[in-house]
Structure 1
Amino acid sequence: MSSSESIGCGANKQGMSDLDKIEVRRVSEADYDDVMSIRSAIYCGYDYLPFSYRSLITHSHNEGYAAVINGKFAAFCFVSKVDGGETAVSRASRVNKQYEGFGVYKALTLIIEKRLFSDGTVLNDAVVYSEGNQKMVIATSRGEYTLLMKRTFIVYKVDCEKMTVLSQGTHPTKHTRILNAVDLETAFKSSKVCSTLFPEERIMCNQVPYRLKGPNIPLIVSEVSLIVGTTVPEWSLVTCGVYYRSENGHTYTLEVYGNCDFIKEHLVLHFQHALQCCHKEVDIIFFCNENEASKIDIEMKELQFRNVDFNSQQCLLLKRELNKYSYESN
């Protein structure tokens, strides 16, 4: 595929005609404003793309594509090539409200797949969706996709004063520390660690499911703000933290793997890192296995951190957007 390619989608509908010129183009850092103009107030205000776009687009394993209609950006999708280039992960997808229901995004993804799979390097197509995406649920029930992972979420608002008190007043044991690429390599080589912490044989970081492979380690480290591990007894807990600014304000996501008995020690190190970035209230979003959510909630309440208070409709929307499922095409 060249830098741009014409596509076809549903015409003769209100708002579109056969005369509309539609093309797909590879985007660059210079297209930031056009990509951001596609849509705002999505993912319940926790969209990470405005903050992370420029850093993501500069990594060689990431590619961004946009559907452009009559010169206007109408849809967008990031693709991250992981697992040594064998898996393409779609992320940060969006389509302009004006063009919803016209097949624009579907046409965009079809051309992306045509390009990615053309040389035989990419073998798998993975995607992370919320539980409210009925199209993905239906596709999975038909056997078109395989469910890889399910992650539930808990959200807390934490002010910097409390973060400071905890980070200064609590000292992690020597067995809980910041991990580097060598540590991850050691963990991924241990079948016992992998089966205990990562039974799905994947680790999700910043909305990307990675196989436990060496080539993924530099990508994970570059995506994640901070990786913390408790290594005694025998790698009991790993957390991956990412800071970004969203429409809701300061946001820090924590992917949690393992026994949450050590979560307080991990929070100390993550809070110390977060305080370098923000000096106001921050939303902490935990992504974890469902059976660990209650342990995290107990610990956070003991630390007097409060749940985000949503009304019923907001809570429903948030749940549909943040309860994540990771799929891979068959």
Structure 2
Amino acid sequence: MKIENSLTCLPEVPPHTGLQFTVATEEDFDDIMAISQDIYGGLDYLPTRYQAWLQETNRTVILARKQGKVIALESVCVIDDGETMLVEGLRVAPQERGKGVARVLLRFCSQLVKSKYPEVKVSRLTRDDQLGPKDFQKYRLITKQGILLVRFRAEDLKLRLNDLGLNVGIEGDGLAPSSTPVRLEAADVHQLFLSSEAMQDVLPNGTIVQDWQPFKPMQSNMEILLKKDIDWMVDDTCCPSMASLCTFPFRIPIGDDWYYLNIDMFGKDLALAVQQLLCHLRRHTSTLKGHVMCQVFLDPPLWKPMADFFRETLKVELVKEYTEQCVVESDLV
């Protein structure tokens, strides 16, 4: 194994792998995009985040090369006051899949993080595939959310929302028109997510999952999250029972004028969830033009009625049936 770009020496990977590892740079962008065709069903976030990732001091982006060519990428980010290694962005060139490259790359990244941050205890990642018995031999399940993926033209949904008016919701929800969601400022986010016992009951297993990234409610993590373009929303600032985070839309490589909108919802009240969903959609479709892939993550029992609301009330197309987002972790040894 060859280690380059100032990576410290680590236990050797068996030489028969034929892999070299380097720290990613700005110059590697085109090579990375070349191995990323159709990754994540066209919802790849890396094109818009790659440059920012390279600047994050708690993150390292590692490339695997074979005969000098980039064949795989993985990013590791240290969070939770230095106790957790968050694994993201994994991709392997199509011709190299199924050959164990991802396993070797993950092992290398784990060794690298352990050498730089000895206090790291666990490796955490988020998956959307079906977990089997072998997975549970390696990982502990932290929490899971239902994934609801829809698509629409922003202009069409904007017109539909205007036609429906402000009082649209779930029939018979019993909510007063004045019970509108509250969009939080930074100080409110700190207060609610770090100090509120009620919020701890709302978060799934005490975890803030923001656009596939799982965080414990800790001061250091809030500093990371509050640097991002996110709308934070709750139903009540005194005693919240529903919360949501909407990541600002960004372009995705499906085609021209395609955007991705990510909404993470926490809580079990369908009517409150619908209210917050509508607020997020109104806020962002007001400025967007073009096609939108919108992914909503929510408590699994809410998936079916929320999907029905999208189809029947908002007249929006459902892209796929029920799948799950699973946050898992394993001990870093």
Q: TM-score, normalized by length of structure 1? A: 0.82
Counterpart selection for 1:34 from 11, 24, 31: 31
> Are the counterparts in 1 of residues 59 and 77 from structure 2 also a CA contact under 8 Å?
yes
Letter in 2 for 1:269: C
Do the aligned partners of 1:61 and 1:80 also contact (CA within 8 Å) in 2?
A: yes
User: Quick check: 1:211 aligned with 2:216?
Assistant: yes
**1:174-323 matched pairs, under 5 angstroms:** 175-188=180-193, 189-195=195-201, 197-231=202-236, 234-242=239-247, 243-248=249-254, 249-258=258-267, 259-275=269-285, 278-309=288-319, 323=324
Q: Quote the offset at 1:218 in angstroms.
A: 2.1
Measure, in 2, the Cα distance between the counterparts of 1:57 and 1:31. Answer: 11
Distance in 2 (CA, whole Å) between partners of 1:292 and 1:117 is 39
Deviations 1:58-113 (A, max 9, x none): 22232211111121111101112211221111111001122223322222111111
Q: State how far apart, in whole Å, the 2-side matches of 1:261 and 1:232 are.
A: 17
CA distance in 2 between counterparts of 1:261 and 1:279 reads 28
Counterparts of 2:181 and 2:217 in 1: how far apart (Å)?
21
The answer (yes or no) to whether the contact 2:149–2:319 under 8 Å persists in 1 is: no
Q: Which 5+ residue runs of structure 2 have no aligned equivalent? A: 168-176
What letter is aligned with 2:250?
Answer: Y
* 2:179 equivalent to 1:170: no
**CA distance in 1 between partners of 2:265 and 2:328 (Å):** 19
Asked if the contact 2:180–2:275 (Cα under 8 Å) also holds between the matched residues in 1, the reply is no
State the Cα deviation string for residues 148-188 of structure 1 (Å, max 9, x = none). 01121112223223433426942884752222332222222
Question: CA contact under 8 A between 1:29 and 1:58: conserved in structure 2?
Answer: no
- Tell me which residue corresponds to 2:125: 127
1:210-250 deviations in Å (ceiling 9; x for gaps): 11112111222334532222216721221112222223332
Q: What letter matches 1:58 in structure 2?
A: Q
Given that 1:156 and 1:306 are in contact with CA atoms closer than 8 Å, whether structure 2 keeps it comes out as yes
For the residues of structure 2 that align with 1:238 and 1:205, how far apart are their CA atoms?
12
Match of 2:91 in 1: 94
Match of 1:15 in 2: none
> Structure 1 residues 215 and 145, CA, compared in 2 at 3 Å: closer, same or farther?
same
Asked if 1 retains the 8 angstrom alpha-carbon contact of 2:189 and 2:232, the reply is: no
Distance in 2 between residues matched to 1:32 and 1:128, nearest whole Å = 24
In the TM superposition, residue 276 of structure 1 has moved relative to its aligned partner by: 6.2
Sequence identity (%) = 19
Number of aligned pairs? 308
Q: Secondary structure at the match of 2:227?
A: helix
Q: Does 1:155 align with 2:152?
A: no
> Secondary structure of 1:222's partner?
coil
2:96 aligned partner, one-letter code: Y
- Measured after TM superposition, the shift of residue 299 of structure 1 is 3.0
- Superposed, 1:1-40 pairs within 5 Å as 3=5, 4=7, 8=13, 11=16, 20=18, 22-40=19-37
Distance 1:296 1:308 in 2: 11
Match of 1:57 in 2: 54
Partner letter of residue 125 of structure 1? S
Q: Distance in 2 between matches of 1:207 and 1:250?
A: 17
Asked if 1:80 corresponds to 2:77, the answer is yes
**Residue in 2 aligned with 1:14?**
none
**Relative to structure 1, is the Cα distance of residues 167 and 35 closer, same or farther in structure 2, using a 3 angstrom cutoff?**
farther
Contact 1:155–1:283, Cα closer than 8 Å, also in 2: yes
Deviation at 1:133, TM superposition (A): 5.7
Shift in alpha-carbon separation, 1:123–1:44, aligned structure 2, 3 A: same
Tell me how far apart the structure 2 counterparts of residues 56 and 261 of structure 1 sit (CA, whole Å).
Answer: 37
The two structures, once aligned, show a CA RMSD in angstroms of 2.7
Q: C-alpha separation between the residues in 2 aligned to 1:232 and 1:187?
A: 7
Q: 1:9, 1:102 within 8 Å by CA — same for their partners in 2? A: no
Q: Which residue of 1 aligns with 2:170?
A: none
Report the Cα offset of residue 9 of structure 1: 5.6
Q: Residue 50 of structure 1: CA displacement?
A: 1.8
The answer on whether the counterparts of 1:180 and 1:221 sit within 8 Å (CA) in structure 2 is no
The CA distance in 1 between the partners of 2:72 and 2:234, in whole Å, is 38
What secondary structure, in the 3-state scheme, does the structure 2 residue paired with 1:244 have?
strand
Give the match's secondary structure for 2:205: coil
Q: 1:150 to 1:264 in 2, by over 3 A?
A: closer
Q: Which moved more, 1:255-264 or 1:162-171?
A: 162-171
Q: Is the 1:157–1:282 Cα contact (8 Å) retained in structure 2?
A: yes
Distance in 2 (CA, whole Å) between partners of 1:97 and 1:297 is 33
